[in-house]
Amino acid sequence: MTTSTAARTAAAEPAKGNLTRGARRGLALGGGILAALAFQPYNIWPLVVLGVMALTLLVRGVTWRRAFGAGYLFGVAFLALTVGWTYVIAVPVALVLIVAWALWFAGLGALSGLVSRLPAWPLWTAALWVLAEYLYSRVPWGGFGWTRLAFTQADSPLAGLFPYVATTGVSFVVALLGTGLAWAVVVARTEAGRRRFLAMGTVALAYALAVGGGVVLRGQTHVSATTDTITVGMVQGNVDGVGLEAFGRARTVTNNHLSQTVTLMAQARAGLVPIPDFILWPENSTDIDPVLDTETNAVVQTSAKVAGVPILVGAVTQGPGDYERQTTAMWWDPVTGPGAIYHKRNLVPFGEWIPFRAQLLPLIPMLKLVGAQGVPGTGPGVLTVDVPQHGSTRVGVLICFELAYDQTVREMIGGGAQIVTVQSNNATYAGTGQISQQWAITRIRAMETQREILVATTNALSGYIEADGTVVYETRQRTPASTSVRMPVREGLTPAMSYGAGIELALVVVAVVGIILAAWRNRPRRVRASAVRQNGAKASS
């Protein structure tokens, strides 16, 4: 090896002494903050690339312990800003969530440092971000995939990619832009002349292709033209109380939705809004089982009769076992009463159900506030119902937290949903960043599926979103509201819905292969280091 080559190789590996321990910690925290500011309610979406770049540079060429620590600090700062709103449940809950979930980012940091020694390391590192999102969206207890990189891109030029490469693919593109930028920084520090110029040109071309591709593709469509139009009413009845007391006294939330349904129908019959073919109520618009409880049943039945059309009710239903409950979307006909139902599949751990309930309740009495144990449903969120004047229609339903789960969305669309509705009760989080984060995810799902989405919440943020993510109507928080909109009936699947699972699996496989290759590549180094230590021990003896 020549002297110049050796010097360049040495410079390519970051010197461990360049940064003090305090500086490294500060940069890790800063990277997490940059990435977090890309999410709602801040919505400075370009910063996510800088956050990814910062973590990538910090873990490159350092020991796994340093990389693990950098990733952990990144995760703590990142999660404190993005999901710190969980403090409204209890401050200890927020602290536990942040310090525990940051371990995923610690693992991401350690593995990113490992693959940084491979050729084409920006590609392997970007795939690791997908692997991390894949895992923490599933483990433990169904996961918590609320802070995926793609969820920052609702308003960016990359939004045009959603119908093609799905949420997973957009996360990969965002991560690759960040790791590619990190590579450009490394090359700028270690190379000169033509090599530096080529690196800068490669990164610029990648950015141009990603941004330009997103802009060009946004106008394309993969679903059918409108075959019919169904007018759907939306009711946001408001709730009494705030935080954990958001429902106030039992049955008041249902009475509020009856009142607002009366208002909606008065406006419709006066010609102020279109007369609905059916009405959407939010999740938990009945806080007591409307089938078993006589008083609640009467309120819902009265609402349906006043409207003269079916209501898609968000109900808390008892069962299937003792002291168990389900969050249910229930079709309620003004003549025949309750009909088709869908039970929410993705439940919030420690919010709707308690893992290790028998063991934890005696240790943490506060968990009793969760109430009866939630039981998830099993089938896709598609109700085949008879809509007056339109006949049999497949109505898609997503309930609140389910918006974050790709498989749940894909199975709903794959099940033939012709129109898509979202029922949500995030009244507990009114006034926090959770509301705008969920709204951004909903917009992304509209783009990804190329379906218009009507959202009804109890008092948070309801409205109507077009298939390209444009917001047509949006309510104010903590106020009663209602309207009706004409929703196109659509058929067909976007590439994201058809191949999204395959894209995700392929990127996960790439990440796993990268880990295996990096571990194998580093194996001889460990063997040699062990031999050196053994020889040194013999010499000293």
Helix (H, G, I), strand (E, B) or coil at 22: helix
**191 has catalytic annotation:** no
**What percentage of the chain's residues is helix, strand, coil (to nearest 5)?**
55, 15, 30
Q: Which of 16, 133, 245, 283 is catalytic?
A: 283
133 is catalytic: no
Place of tokens 């379906």: 451
Q: 394 has which bridge partners? A: 384
| DSSP line for 96-109 | HHHHHHHHHHHHHH
First-to-last alpha carbon distance for the chain, in angstroms, is 35
Amino acid residing at 294: T
Residues in the chain: 541
Summary count for the chain: helices (H), strands (E): 14, 13
Rounded distance between C-alpha atoms, residue 338 and residue 108, angstroms: 48
> One of 133, 191, 368, 400 is an active-site residue; which one?
400
Contact of 410 with 449, CB cutoff 8 Å: no
Which residue is it, tokens 């796994």?
64
452 is known as an active-site residue = no
Instruction: Return all residues near 199 (Cβ < 8 A) that are at least 6 apart.
Output: 183, 184, 187, 188, 191
Euclidean distance between CA atoms 528 and 125, whole angstroms? 26
Which spans in 404-541 are helix H? 406-414, 433-449, 495-540
- The rounded distance, in Å, linking the Cα atoms of 173 and 375 is 36
**DSSP structure class, residue 275:** P
Question: 443 - beta bridge partners?
Answer: none
Kind of pairing, strands 324-333 and 337-343?
antiparallel
CA distance 259 to 206: 54
Query: d(Cα 231, Cα 227) in Å, to the nearest integer?
Result: 14
Cα–Cα nearest to 334, from 357, 352, 307: 307
Catalytic residue, from 133, 344, 402, 411: name it: 344
Phi and psi torsions of 11, nearest 5°: -70, -25
The catalytic residue positions are 283, 344, 400
